[in-house]
Chain A
Amino acid sequence: MGTETTGATPPDGDAPRPAPPAGTAAGTAVTSRRKDRIDRLAELTARTDTSTGSGLWVEALRRLRANKTALIGLGVLAVFLVLAVIGPWIAPYSPTAQTWRGEVFPNRGIFVGPRSGNWLGLDHLGRDELSRMLVGARQTLLVGVVATLIGFTVGALIGGFSGAALALGGRAGRTVDTVVMRFTDMLLALPSLLLAVSVAAIMGQSLTTVMVAVGVVQIPVFARLLRGSMLAQANSDYVLAARALGVRRRRIVLAHVLPNSLGPVIVQSTLALATAIIEAAALSFLGLGNPDAAQPEWGVMLAQAQRFFDQAPMMAVYPALGIIITALGFTLLGEAMREALDPKLRS
């Protein structure tokens, strides 16, 4: 029998079949002795890679925390969120009351800029600009989130269905995928703003319209992204391994392919939030936004300010800044998340 070193070289040739003719009891003894030897050796040579790491998301969170970009994005978003929630309560004045109507004369070019009572000045109807900004944050966030949710949900359903059909549905699945994907390609080919304008024009002016119109624009993006991501996962080894063990196709799609494919889609949704806010603002700017004057919204404010841009540019600058900073916050966070979740960039 070999020494410790012989045992080290697997598969060592000194005892190819563990059962000697003597009997099974002796055979098992040999097996276990040999096994112990190998195990002992493995213990000695074991590197510490058995140590516990953490799950994908926990790991991503840790990396996010170490990322300055993510922290800035998160900070911006936190401020924005807090304002959106408590804005109506901390607003010093009513956002709709034309309290200082007598001081502003748009047709004569007389506007009121920042002053002690109204930190950001008054708008063209004599309403407090700061109060309108604070209250408008909620509306803007609502439009962005709901529109993205619409896009995410419908897009993920379409993309997930299509991807699952193509990946594991055989010949029929390929046909389904082709039909669905050519349809989303058509949606994708339309300029997004044109698509949104068309939807808004069909549905008429309302808050819901803005949300739906902006959401519809996002659908093909999410669908394409999820489908592609699922397709990549469907070719992976663990799907093959699961198939080799007879796991059902439905189970493979839902339990294996989908969870692995969602990362990029979630990242895209943070980026989409930024676009959604900008697009909602664009729709409002084009006069297809929420016509309800009782609900100030940054996009609408920007649209209304454009008429007076040469006399009171700051009226446009405030909501524009709000939109830009918020969108930037979402973009920064989205980018950082993308990096954190990207396995290629893992340290």
Chain B
Amino acid sequence: MTTRLLTVEDLTVTFTARGRRDVTAVSGVSFDIGAGEVVGLVGESGCGKSVTSLALMGLLPRRGVRTGGRALLDGSTDLLALDDARIRDLRGTQLAMVFQDPLSSLNPVVPIGVQVTEILRRHRGLRGERARAEAAHLLDRVGIPDPARRLKEYPHQLSGGMRQRALIAMAVACAPRLLIADEPTTALDVTIQAQILELLRELVDQEGTALLMITHDLGVVAGLCDRVNVLYAGKVVEAAARRPLFAAPAHPYTHGLLASIPRLDAPRGQPLKPIRGSVNDTIAWAEGCAFAPRCDHFSPACLEGTPAQAPAPDAAVPGPRSHLVRCVHPVNTATAPDAARRDGQPRPGHPPHPPSEPPGAAPAASATKEKAE
């Protein structure tokens, strides 16, 4: 990619409360986002996805939270060090965010129109009729029919998909350079999900907005993201471009996530392959790999301190943007029997099956992707 829009270096967020042990939700997360790039932040509940996004937006409470590391916008502005007033000016204009639940993210007693125009007034100085016209135009752009009427309506009069569209319209009102979407489709049903993802992709393609997609849905990642960061217990365990990640997941966790996706083409009666244990079965990163208690490839070597981030076995050119994995025993897809079976799947031209998006999507994307890079 061309220029780095946002570089996150060693982001650490610790929650402190008097009389309780400190909880480190995010420990040393590093990734970067290029201009116009779609980057995924993937992980299960409690792995620090949302905390990362809130930290970048400066929305974490000041009290009881310790943030470390840097988040450089354009290589110069450290988002984590800005004072309240400066980051408030950046929010909405440079950075914007879309949240998970579209109903509770809209003020129930204020008409949609007022909520859209207030952003136009705040950042673009539009007033009165001009603000209303622009708001209608925005709603129209995100695919809300009859925008003039919708502007007068209250959030509960809109359907879930329309609410999320309205929120996206508000987020992109001032053409931000980075849009953070925190599980934007989780609260919606599947067809609406598809529409919203389509809308996001369209906005990214047309406006050149970079998108940080926070999700637990690997299908979303497969369909949307250029680069993926897999988070586990507050650390990036694997970072790769979409194709290598789905083709050859190197970290046992990523591997397990992909293997656990239910497939329509699986033989009848074949049980799902979940990752055993739960997210609570973890050890501190300082003592070893946090995933070790749940890992099939566990060995005593895993307990010798935090595993370093290293190029994955399939990484062609080692470098900061190549396929990185934080594991003592990276899974080599060629040897893993399970992966070998799956490897046969995503041959170009092979009819893809809907629930198997991740493996199916990768090769289809490759043609365009390689061209872009």
Could you tell me which A residues sit within 8 Å of B by CB distance? 2, 5-21, 31, 34-35, 38-39, 41-42, 45-47, 49-56, 170-171, 236-238, 240-248, 251, 255-256, 259-260
Contacts and interface: CB of A to CB of B under 8 A. Distances in A.
Given A38-B195, A50-B159, A237 B101 contact: yes
A35 B191 CA distance: 11
A121 B19 CA distance: 72
Interface stretch (B2-10, B67-75, B270-278, B355-363): B355-363
Nearest to A258: B109
A10 B99 contact: no
Nearest to B63: A171
Contacts of B354: 2, 5-6, 8-9, 12-13
A246 B89 contact: yes
A7 B201 CA distance: 16
B336 interface: no
Interface stretch (B132-140, B218-226, B252-260): B218-226
B62 interface: yes
7 contacts: A9-B194, A10-B219, A20-B367, A38-B194, A56-B154, A247-B119, A259-B110
A7 B352 CA distance: 12
Contacts of A31: 198, 202
B84 interface: yes
A7 B223 CA distance: 12
A248 B89 CA distance: 9
B55 interface: no
Interface of B: 57, 59, 62, 84, 88-93, 96-97, 99, 101, 104-110, 114-115, 118-119, 122-123, 153-154, 156-162, 167, 170-171, 173, 185, 189-195, 197-198, 201-202, 205, 219-220, 222-224, 242, 352, 354-358, 360-361, 364-365, 367-369, 371
Nearest to A19: B368
B267 to A, nearest CB: 20
B195 A245 contact: no
A237 B118 contact: no
A10 B354 CA distance: 8
Contacts of A19: 205, 368
A340 B368 CA distance: 56
Contacts of B355: 9
A215 to B, nearest CB: 28
A13 B108 contact: no
B222 A11 contact: yes
Contacts of B119: 245-247
Contact of B191 (A14, A45, A259, A260): A45
Rank and list the top 4 A-B pairs by shortest CB-CB distance, nearest first: A10-B194, A13-B357, A11-B223, A246-B92
B114 A13 contact: no
A18 B201 contact: yes
A7 B171 CA distance: 27
Contacts of B88: 243, 246, 248
A243 B59 contact: yes
Given A10-B219, A18-B201, 15 more contacts: A9-B194, A11-B194, A11-B223, A13-B358, A16-B242, A16-B361, A38-B191, A38-B194, A50-B158, A52-B153, A240-B105, A241-B97, A241-B105, A245-B119, A246-B91
B195 A238 contact: no
Give the most central of A13, A236, A243: most B CB within 10 Å.
Answer: A13
Contacts of B93: 246
Given A8-B191, A245-B97, A13 B118 contact: no
Give the most central of A11, A31, A39, A42: most B CB within 10 Å.
Answer: A11
Contact of A11 (B110, B220, B371): B220
Given A42-B161, A53-B156, A245-B119, A14 B109 contact: no
Given A12-B354, A21-B368, A244 B219 contact: no
B194 A246 contact: no
A258 B371 CA distance: 52
Contacts of A45: 189, 191
A14 B369 CA distance: 15
A251 B157 contact: no
Contacts of A49: 159-160
A167 to B, nearest CB: 11
Contacts of B171: 245
Contact of A255 (B101, B106, B114, B222): B114
B369 A17 contact: yes
B99 A237 contact: yes
A343 to B, nearest CB: 8
A241 B167 contact: yes
Contacts of A6: 352, 354
Contacts of A259: 107, 109-110
Given A240-B59, A248-B88, A14 B364 contact: yes
A259 to B, nearest CB: 5
B198 A15 contact: no
A39 B365 CA distance: 23
Contacts of B358: 13
Nearest to B159: A50
Contact of B193 (A10, A21, A47): A10
A245 B195 CA distance: 23
Contacts of A16: 222-224, 242, 361, 364-365
A54 B156 CA distance: 8
A244 B114 CA distance: 17
